[in-house]
Amino acid sequence: MATMRLDKFLADCGCGTRAEVKKELRKKTVSVNGKTVSDGGEKIDPDKDCILWQGRELCYSKYQYIMLYKPSGCVTAVTDRRHKTVMDLLPGSIHKNMAPAGRLDLDTEGLLLITDDGELVHSLLAPGKHVEKTYFARIQGRVTKKEVQLFARGVDIGDRDPARPARLEILEEGPESRILLTITEGRFHQVKRMFRAVGMEVLYLKRISMGSLKLDESLGPGGYRFLTDEEVESLKKKENIC
Ligand code: URA
């Protein structure tokens, strides 16, 4: 890899905007090969140099991967005229071409992967890949073994084909039930339509996992963090991209 400016490297690693990075450099908390550097224009080689940010070694990544805990009330889009988008919740330093991998409804919360790695997005969303997505939901109605069986068989949601078999786990059965549902497709309003097909309404919906990636509950709605190298590797391994 060619040499690059230290401030660009730091911004690309998700350390902050160029301005934030500059401020941190002035605090003398960045070192290159053991030497403190405060000039963002310093040229570094990401393949050869050891860069420490606040004592933590940084690895350059061609792509960025962000886990966002999507809150209710913002749209899963890059731009929108009416609503705040999920991209509005992220820092200005993120790479261009970052986009959400898949969609959650305006009122759905939970795990959203945002990345510029098109190959990974394609693999996660390709209909033939059947990547598992697990949702937690509160349901108006008593969810019983009957629904578990119906969902396991594949319920008719009004499309040409019924929904693929899905795993329904009842956490709490009552006039209002709490469930976990794992589906392997991503049809429009799929979870809500599956419950409507059995005469029930989804009151609250939150995605808690996608493939091997699990929502980091310590984030809270609107929170985000970069994926760890292990999380990226595990996602790629599971989806056969290496
Ligand atoms: N199913 C839905 O109905 N809505 C979502 O946002 C995701 C899955």
Which position has the token pair 């606040």?
Answer: 54
Q: What's the CA gap between 32 and 7, in Å, rounded?
A: 12
Does the CB atom of residue 105 touch ligand 1 within 6 A?
yes
Q: Using DSSP, state whether 204 is helix, strand or coil.
A: strand
- At residue 241 the predicted structure's pLDDT band, cuts being 50, 70 and 90, is low
Task: Give the model's confidence band at 17: pLDDT under 50 very low, under 70 low, under 90 confident, else very high.
Answer: confident
d(C-alpha 106, C-alpha 104), whole Å: 7
d(CA 56, CA 48): 16
What does the alpha-carbon distance between residue 57 and residue 30 come to, in Å, rounded to a whole number? 10
Mean pLDDT of 63-76: 96
Task: Decide if pLDDT at 195 tops 70.
Answer: yes
Range among 56-65, 124-133, 187-196 rated most confident: 187-196
Q: How far apart are CA 226 and CA 158, in angstroms?
A: 38
The residue with greater pLDDT, 55 or 153, is 153
- 45, 49, 80, 105: which one is catalytic? 105
pLDDT at 19: 84
Could you tell me if the CB of 139 is within 6 A of ligand 1?
no
Say which residues have a Cβ less than 8 Å from residue 228's Cβ, sequence separation at least 6: none
What is the pLDDT averaged over residues 53-78? 91
What integer pLDDT is reported at residue 183 of this predicted model? 98
Look up 105 and say whether it is catalytic: yes
The tally of CA atoms less than 13 A away on the side-chain side of residue 170 is 16
pLDDT at 80 over 90: yes
Instruction: Inform me whether the pLDDT recorded for 47 exceeds 60.
Output: yes
* Rounded CA separation 242/221 (Å): 31
Mean pLDDT over 19-41 rounds to 93
pLDDT at 242: 47
Stretch 55-61: mean pLDDT, rounded? 82
Mean pLDDT of 98-106: 96
CA 220 – ligand 1 centroid, Å:
19
Rg of the Cα atoms in the chain: 21
Question: In the predicted model, is pLDDT for residue 4 greater than 60?
Answer: yes
Does residue 190 have its Cβ closer than 6 Å to ligand 1?
A: yes
What pTM value is reported for the model? 0.83
Q: 225 in ligand 1 pocket by Cβ < 6 Å?
A: no
- C-alpha of residue 154 to centroid of ligand 1, in Å: 17
Among protein residues, the one with the nearest Cα to ligand 1's atom 4 is 189
The residue to which tokens 């919740």 are assigned: 89
pLDDT tens-digit map of 119-167: 999 999 998 899 999 999 999 999 999 999 999 999 999 999 999 999 9
- Which ranges in 51-143 belong to alpha helices (H)? 118-125
**Contacts of residue 25, Cβ cutoff 8 Å, sequence gap at least 6:** 6, 7, 10, 37, 38, 39, 40
Q: How far apart are the first and last CA of the chain?
A: 19
73 vs 225: CA distance, rounded Å:
20
- CB of 108 shorter than 6 A to ligand 1: yes
pLDDT for residue 93 is more than 80: no
> How far is residue 132 from each of residues 125, 141, 171, 239, measured CA to CA in Å?
10, 25, 19, 11
Mean pLDDT of 190-217: 97
